[in-house]
Structure 1
C-alpha cells in the first residue's frame, strides 16, 4: 500500500493521508515530481513506458517521475523516482514548473546528469526502453503527436516552443 500526503490547492500539506488507488477527496491533491533529464553534453533522455502501464502504455515519455510518498518533499521524491526509474543520479535539480490538475500537483524539474549514457537502468513494470536525443530532435519529438500531450503542455513554457 502506497501512502501519500494530501495537499491543498496552494501546495501546502493538508495533514491528511491519501492511499494510492482510493478516490482523492474534492479539494485535496497528491504531489507528483517529474524530471526532464538532460546530460551535460546537452542530450535529453526519453523513457519508454511499460505496455502494462495504465496511462499511455508503450509511449516514449519526456520525463521520469512519480508520486511523492508520505513525508517526502517534491525534491526528495524527484531524486528517488529518478534513481528507481532510470538508475541515474543528478548533479543538479532546478524546479522548472508547477501545475495543478483535478487532483494532482505536478512539480517539474530539469535534472542535469553526467552519467555514462549506457548506464540507464529500466524499472520492471515501469519502463522498457530509453533513448537519448539531441536538443533539436528532442524539441521535434515534443512538438509531434508522439509526445504525451500532458507532458508536452507542462514543458511548453520552460522549453519556449509552440
Structure 2
C-alpha cells in the first residue's frame, strides 16, 4: 500500500494521509514530481511507458517521475523517482513549473546529466524502453502528437524559453 501526504491547493500539508488507488476527497491533492533529463551532449531522454499503464500505455514521455510518498518533499521525491525509473542519479534540479491537474499538484524539474547513455535502467511495471534524441528531434517531438499533451502544456514556458515550440 502506497501512502501519500494530502495537500491543500496552495501545496501546504493538509494533515491527512491519502492511499494510492482510493478516491481523493474534494479539496485535497497529492504531489507528483517529474523531471526532464538532458544529457551534457544536448540529447534528451525519453522513457517508454509500460503497456499496462492506465494512461498513455506504450507512449514515450519526456519525463521520469511519480507521486511523492508520505514524508517526502519535492526534491527527495524527484531524486528517488529519477533513480527508480532510469537508474540516473542527479543532485542539481531546476524547477521549471507547477501545475494543478485533477487531484494532482505537478512540480516539474529539469536536470542535466553526464551519465553513460547506456546506463539507463527500466523499472518493472513503469517503463519498457528508452531512447536519447537530439535537440532537433526533441523540438519535433514536443510539437507533434507523439508527446503526451499534458506534458507539453506543463513544460510550455520552459520549452518556449528554449525555442523548442513552433
Would the TM-score normalized by the shorter structure come out above 0.5? Answer: yes
* Aligned 8 A contact 1:87 1:121 in 2: yes
Q: Which residue of 1 aligns with 2:89?
A: 89
Query: Shift of the alpha carbon at 1:91?
Result: 4.4
CA distance in 1 between counterparts of 2:90 and 2:114 reads 7
Is the Cα contact below 8 Å between 2:43 and 2:134 reproduced in 1? yes
1:139 Cα offset (Å):
1.2
The corresponding residue for 2:77 is: 77
User: Does the 8 Å CA contact 1:50/1:128 hold for their aligned counterparts?
Assistant: yes
Query: 1:149 maps to which residue?
Result: 149
| Cα displacement (A) at 1:156 | 1.2
CA contact (8 A) 1:43 1:132 kept: yes
| Alpha-carbon spacing, 1:153–1:64, altered in 2? closer, same or farther (3 Å) | same
Instruction: Note the C-alpha offset of 1:101.
Output: 1.6
Which residue does 2:13 correspond to in 1?
A: 13
User: What do residues 37-66 of structure 1 show as CA deviations (whole Å, max 9, x unaligned)?
Assistant: 011111100000010111100000001100
TM-score, length-normalised on structure 1? 0.98
Instruction: Tell whether the 8 Å contact from 1:99 to 1:107 is kept in structure 2 after alignment.
Output: yes
Q: Output aligned runs, 1:94-113, within 5 Å.
A: 94-113=94-113
Contact kept in structure 2, 1:29 and 1:103, CA below 8 Å: yes
**For the residues of structure 1 that align with 2:10 and 2:100, how far apart are their CA atoms?**
9
What is the aligned partner in structure 1 of residue 59 from structure 2? 59
Aligned partners of 1:91, 1:78: CA distance in 2, in Å?
Answer: 10
Unaligned runs of at least 5 residues, structure 2? none
Partner Cα separation in structure 2 for residue 124 and residue 104 of structure 1: 23
Q: Which runs of 5 or more residues in structure 1 are unaligned?
A: none
How far does residue 102 in structure 1 lie from its aligned partner after superposition?
A: 2.1
Residue 98 of structure 1: SS of its match in structure 2?
Answer: strand
Question: Between Structure 1 and Structure 2, how many residues are aligned?
Answer: 162
- Asked whether the equivalents of residues 92 and 113 of structure 1 are also in contact (C-alpha less than 8 Å), the reply is no
- Whole-angstrom distance in 2 between the partners of 1:53 and 1:72: 24
Name segments (4+ residues, structure 1) moved above 3 Å: none
